[in-house]
Amino acid sequence: MQFAPLYPILYPILKRTFPNCLWSGSPQRKAIALTFDDGPHPKYTPQLLQVLDRYNITASFFWLGACVKAAPTVAREVYQQGHWIGLHGYHHRSFPLLKPDALKESLEKTQDAICQACQFEPKHIRDVRPPNGLFTPQTLKLLHQWQYRPVMWSVVPEDWVSPGVEVVVRRVIQQVRNGSLIVLHDGYHGGEDVAQTTNRLIPQLLQQGYKFVTIEELSTF
């Protein structure tokens, strides 16, 4: 069963209930953020980078530490091309299932893997997106305590179940608004279509007058 039709209903409810997460940008500006979860992938992410480079678009990537370890060269290429980097945990495990020590270790290990792969000095990567979009008030309390910023979404076309490029593109176009935070996937689930999907989406959204920004830029509007 696909839950894509429910996300536009859930989003405004969750945004009101948990205002300390970043759900979207300003509704007064035609700025949107294109984000990608579950990578980097040795095949799908380089294909995606070619598309982003073709249109001169800067995106945001939320990485799994294990995938960074498996594809450090790809991670470094993403970073060197100027894309924004966030954390998605070391493995794709829902944060509420982890004890606080295990959650903290997962985030720190992912950050260390990114620093090693991208060859920059260790620093605090602030943005975190919980796998599956699942969290509890306690999860958010811990993330804020550790000085992380929870980053969520406003457009989720459910590409990880591979409904087809046309379906994903249509869902995004129908849901996108000023300030939208769009989630796609360049990992092992959904990533096989990500380059083609993105190549179809970007020109349509540009034609509608949207400007693509990173998570950091979106949060300042």
Of 207, 171, 162, 154, the residue nearest 33 (C-alpha): 154
Which among 83, 159, 185, 193 is annotated as catalytic? 185
Which among 37, 38, 127, 193 is annotated as catalytic? 37
Separation CA 88–CA 57 (nearest Å)? 22
CA atoms within 13 A on the CB side of 24: 22
Is 92 labeled as catalytic in the residue annotation?
Answer: no
Is 159 labeled as catalytic in the residue annotation?
Answer: no
Of 59, 93, 97, 98, the residue nearest 79 (C-alpha): 59
DSSP state at residue 24? -
Residue 35, Ramachandran bin (φ over 0: left; ψ between -120 and 50: alpha; else beta): beta
Cα–Cα–Cα angle for 216, 48, 187, rounded to 5 degrees: 85
> Active-site residue numbers?
37, 185
